[in-house]
C-alpha cells in the first residue's frame, strides 16, 4: 500500500467553488493509471485553511500545495502524479506558508 | 455495493429498515418520544415557521442533500450510513488486518456501548442548550444556521439510537430512552459531559461552541469513523459530512464578529460604544471555549484510550489514510509535559497507546490554530493591530494531567494568587457577559444584520445573504 496521498479540500469555500467535482474528476484521471491505489491514495480533506485561494489540492510526501485549481488544471496535475510531467508551478505558492506547514506537520506525524 | 435509500418510509433510511420488522417497530415506537422531546426541549417558539433547511436524502457524493422550506417538526430525520467498503479490514491496533465486525464482539460490548452513549448524549444536549437562542438571532441567515445545526444534531441522535437498537438489544433500547430522559442542566438527571449542561444563551457563545466544541465532536467522530465495528464507522463517516457545516457556522460566525469590530475600529469608532464586541473581549470567549473543549478529549495519559485503540474501536485522526508510521503504535513513546508538586514541568515519556487522547488533541489544536490564523488574516486587512491567539494546551484545564494546576495562557506555571489576580483578563467576566447580553438584539428583516456581526461572504446553498431564510410571517 502506498503512502503517497492526494487531498482535495472539501471545506465550505472550496465546496462552494466546486471541489466535489474536482475530486471526482481528478480521481477518475488517477484511476486510469492507478486503479487499485497502488501509487497514490486520493481523499477528501475537511479544510486546509487557505480558503481565499481555493480550490486547494495537496500532494504528500511531495509537499506540493496547489491552489486556485480548476478542472482545466487536472490533466497536468494527474500527469505529474503519474510521473509524466513536472509539478504545476503556476498553482503553487499561493497559500500562506504557515497554512501549508500545518498540513505537512499533521501528515509528517512522528508516530 | 450501493445501499438502497428509502425516502418514503416513516423513518427515511438506507439500512433496509423495511426488511427488519422488529427493528422498525422498535424505532417507530421511539419516534413519538423523540418528537415530543423536540417540541418540549428543541428550539422554542419557531416550530410553525418555514425554515430553508438542508435535509439528508442519501449518502452519494453527488447531491446528498435537498434544500427547501420545512417546518422543523416536519423535518425528515433519517438513518444514513456511508456506503460499505467491500472486504474492509481493521487498519490499526492488535487486530490489524482482520476483517471488520458487522456485529459487536462480546468482549467489547460494554466499552462500545459507553462510547456510543457518550457520543449520542451530546447530540440532544446541544439542542437543549441552544433552545432559546433563536429569539435573539442577529439575522434570518443566522437563525436558519442555528436551526440547521439543531435539526442535524437531532439526526445524529437518530444515528446513535439506530446503533443502540440494532446491536445492543434491551440494554440498547433502555439507553436510547435515557437519551431523551437526561436533560441539559437538569439537577437530577443531567447530560453526561459537564460542558453540555450550561445554557448557550448568546451568539458569541454559540459561535465559539460550534467552532471549538463541535470541533471536538469532529475529532471524536473521526476517530470512531476508523473503527473496526463497521456500522459505527459508516454511521460516523456520514455524520462528519453534516458536521462540517456546523463548524463552518462557528468559524465564520466568530470571524464575522471580529471583522465587524475591526471595521468599526478602522472607522475610528470604539466597538464597545457601538454595540459590537471588542476584540479583547472576544479573545476571552475564545480562551474559555477552547480550553473547555480540550477537556472533552479526556486524560492525556489514559489506559481506556489505549484499550480502545488496541481493540480496534477508536483509531487516530485519519488513521485510514496511512499517515502514521506504526499502525499498531507499539514501539513508540509520547513525550508528555507533566507538572510536578514542587512547581516544575517535567517531560515524561509514556507508551504511545496510552497517549491516544493526547495525539487526537494535538490534531485538534493544529486545526484550531489554523482557524485563529484565518481570523487574524481577515482583521489584519483592516489594520487593527490586534491578533487572536490560542492559550497553551495546559491552561485552564479541569480534566487530565493539568487539572488542579494554574497556568498562564503562555503555558507558564503560576501560583494561585497570580491566577486570582489575573484570570479576569483571560476569561469572560460577569461584566463581559452582561455587555454581550446587551448586544443580543434580534434582527428579522431579510438582508439586515445586528451591528455586532458582519454579513456572511455568501449565503446558504448559493442563495444571497438577503434571502428570506426563515419565513416569520
What pLDDT score was predicted for residue A23?
A: 96
What pLDDT score was predicted for residue B60?
A: 67
Q: Give the count of alpha carbons within 13 A of B199, CB side only.
A: 9
CA of A109, closest CA in chain B: separation in Å?
6
**How far is it, in rounded angstroms, from Cα B131 to Cα B184?**
11
Residue numbers in chain B where pLDDT is lower than 50: none
What pLDDT score was predicted for residue A106?
A: 83
| Residue-range domain boundaries for chain B | 17-471
Q: Considering Cα of B276, then B287, then B135, then B248, what sign does the dihedral take?
A: positive
| Residue-range domain boundaries for chain A | 5-107
Q: Where are the beta strands (DSSP E) in B20-63?
A: 50-56
Mutate to test the interface with B, among A19, A24, A49 (most CBs of B within 10 A): A49
What pLDDT score was predicted for residue B269?
A: 97
Q: Residues 6 or more apart from B398 whose CB is under 8 A from it?
A: B292, B295
Grid cell 486547494 is found at A56
Of A5, A23, A102, the CB nearest to B321: A5
The residue in chain A having the minimum alpha-carbon distance to the alpha carbon of residue B459 is: A16
Q: Where are the alpha helices (DSSP H) in B107-168?
A: 109-129, 140-167
- Cβ of B326 within 8 Å of Cβ of A111? The answer is yes
* Number of residues in chain B: 473
CA of B325, closest CA in chain A: separation in Å?
5
**Residue whose C-alpha is closest to residue B311's, from B87, B103, B97, B108:** B108
Whether domain A5-107 has CATH 2.40.30.20: the reply is no
What are the C-alpha distances in Å from B344 to residues B225, B340, B348, B350, B447? 38, 5, 12, 18, 54
What are the C-alpha distances in Å from B345 to residues B174, B267, B322, B342, B401? 45, 45, 33, 9, 11
What pLDDT score was predicted for residue A7?
A: 96
ipTM of the complex: 0.84
- Cβ of B332 within 8 Å of Cβ of A107? The answer is no
pTM of the entire structure? Answer: 0.93
**Residue whose C-alpha is closest to residue B338's, from B412, B414, B401, B406:** B401
Query: Dihedral (C-alpha) B333, B390, B293, B271: value to the nearest 10 degrees?
Result: 180
Q: Residues 6 or more apart from B374 whose CB is under 8 A from it?
A: A49, A51, B251, B255
Residue A1 has pLDDT above 70, yes or no: no
- Cβ of A109 within 8 Å of Cβ of B323? The answer is yes
The residue in chain B having the minimum alpha-carbon distance to the alpha carbon of residue A10 is: B244
**Residue whose C-alpha is closest to residue A32's, from A102, A84, A73:** A84
Question: To 10 degrees, what angle do helices B169-181 and B109-129 make?
Answer: 20
**How far is it, in rounded angstroms, from Cα B43 to Cα B48?**
11
What pLDDT score was predicted for residue B379?
A: 96
Any B CB within 8 A of A71 CB:
no
Residue A12 has pLDDT above 80, yes or no: no
CA of A55, closest CA in chain B: separation in Å?
16
**How far is it, in rounded angstroms, from Cα B466 to Cα B306?**
50
Q: Where are the beta strands (DSSP E) in B292-386?
A: 333-339, 345-351
Of A3, A12, A41, the CB nearest to B248: A12
CA of A111, closest CA in chain B: separation in Å?
5
- Cβ of A111 within 8 Å of Cβ of B370? The answer is no
What pLDDT score was predicted for residue B420?
A: 96
**How far is it, in rounded angstroms, from Cα B91 to Cα B87?**
12
CATH superfamily to which B17-471 belongs: Ribonucleotide Reductase, subunit A (1.10.620.20)
Taking only the tens place, the pLDDT of each residue in A26-74 is: 999 999 999 999 999 999 998 888 888 999 999 999 999 999 999 999 9
Amino acid at each position: 500500500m502506498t503512502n503517497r496521498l492526494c487531498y482535495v479540500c472539501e471545506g465550505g469555500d472550496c465546496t462552494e467553488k466546486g471541489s466535489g467535482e474536482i475530486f471526482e474528476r481528478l480521481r477518475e484521471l488517477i484511476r486510469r493509471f492507478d486503479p487499485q491505489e497502488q501509487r497514490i491514495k486520493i481523499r477528501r480533506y475537511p479544510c486546509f485553511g487557505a480558503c481565499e485561494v481555493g480550490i486547494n489540492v495537496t500532494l504528500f510526501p511531495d509537499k506540493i500545495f496547489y491552489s486556485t485549481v480548476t478542472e482545466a488544471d487536472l490533466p497536468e496535475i494527474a500527469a505529474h502524479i503519474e510521473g509524466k510531467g513536472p509539478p504545476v508551478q503556476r498553482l503553487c505558492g499561493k497559500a500562506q506558508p504557515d497554512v501549508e506547514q500545518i498540513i505537512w506537520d499533521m501528515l509528517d506525524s512522528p508516530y | 455495493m450501493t445501499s438502497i435509500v428509502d425516502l418514503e418510509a416513516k423513518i427515511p433510511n438506507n439500512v433496509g429498515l423495511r426488511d427488519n420488522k422488529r427493528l422498525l417497530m422498535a424505532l417507530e415506537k421511539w419516534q413519538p418520544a423523540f418528537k415530543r422531546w423536540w417540541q418540549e426541549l428543541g428550539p422554542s417558539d419557531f416550530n410553525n415557521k418555514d425554515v430553508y433547511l438542508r435535509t439528508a436524502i442519501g449518502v452519494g457524493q453527488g447531491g446528498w442533500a435537498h434544500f427547501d422550506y420545512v417546518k422543523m417538526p416536519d423535518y425528515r430525520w433519517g438513518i444514513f450510513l456511508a456506503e460499505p467498503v467491500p472486504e474492509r479490514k481493521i487498519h490499526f491496533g492488535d487486530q490489524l488486518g482482520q476483517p471488520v465486525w458487522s456485529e459487536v464482539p462480546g468482549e467489547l460490548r460494554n466499552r462500545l456501548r459507553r462510547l456510543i452513549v457518550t457520543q449520542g448524549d451530546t447530540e440532544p444536549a446541544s439542542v437543549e442548550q441552544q433552545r432559546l437562542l433563536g429569539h435573539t438571532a442577529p439575522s434570518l441567515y443566522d437563525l436558519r444556521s442555528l436551526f440547521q445545526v439543531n435539526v442535524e444534531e437531532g439526526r445524529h441522535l437518530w444515528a446513535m439510537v439506530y446503533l443502540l437498537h440494532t446491536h445492543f438489544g434491551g440494554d440498547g433500547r433502555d439507553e436510547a430512552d435515557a437519551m431523551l430522559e437526561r436533560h441539559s442542566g437538569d439537577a437530577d438527571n443531567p447530560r453526561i459531559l459537564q460542558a453540555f449542561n450550561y445554557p448557550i444563551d448568546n451568539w458569541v457563545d454559540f459561535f465559539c461552541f460550534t467552532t471549538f466544541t463541535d470541533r471536538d465532536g469532529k475529532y471524536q467522530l473521526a476517530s470512531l469513523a476508523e473503527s473496526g465495528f463497521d456500522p459505527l464507522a459508516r454511521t460516523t463517516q456520514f455524520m462528519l459530512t453534516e458536521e462540517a457545516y456546523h463548524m463552518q457556522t462557528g468559524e465564520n460566525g466568530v470571524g464575522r464578529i471580529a471583522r465587524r469590530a475591526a471595521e468599526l475600529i478602522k472607522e475610528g469608532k470604539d466597538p464597545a460604544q457601538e454595540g459590537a464586541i471588542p476584540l479583547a473581549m472576544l479573545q476571552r470567549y475564545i480562551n474559555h471555549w477552547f480550553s473547555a473543549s480540550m477537556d472533552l478529549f479526556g486524560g492525556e495519559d489514559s489506559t481506556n484510550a489505549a484499550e480502545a485503540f488496541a481493540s480496534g474501536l477508536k483509531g487516530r485522526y485519519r488513521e485510514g489514510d496511512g499517515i502514521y508510521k506504526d499502525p499498531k503504535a507499539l514501539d513508540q513513546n509520547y513525550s508528555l509535559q507533566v507538572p510536578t508538586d514542587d512547581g516544575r514541568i517535567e517531560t515524561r515519556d509514556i507508551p504511545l497507546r496510552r497517549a491516544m487522547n493526547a495525539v487526537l488533541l494535538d490534531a485538534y489544536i493544529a486545526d484550531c490554530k489554523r482557524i485563529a490564523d484565518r481570523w487574524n488574516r481577515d482583521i489584519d486587512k483592516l489594520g487593527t493591530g490586534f491578533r487572536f491567539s490560542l492559550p497553551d494546551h495546559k491552561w485552564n484545564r479541569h480534566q487530565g494531567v493539568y487539572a488542579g494546576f494554574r497556568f498562564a495562557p503562555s503555558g507558564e506555571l503560576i501560583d494561585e494568587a497570580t491566577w486570582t489576580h489575573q484570570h479576569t483578563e483571560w476569561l469572560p467576566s460577569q461584566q463581559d457577559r452582561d455587555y454581550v447580553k446587551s448586544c443580543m438584539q434580534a434582527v428579522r428583516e431579510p438582508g439586515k444584520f445586528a451591528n455586532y456581526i458582519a454579513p456572511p461572504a455568501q449565503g446558504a446553498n448559493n442563495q444571497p445573504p438577503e434571502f428570506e431564510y426563515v419565513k416569520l410571517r
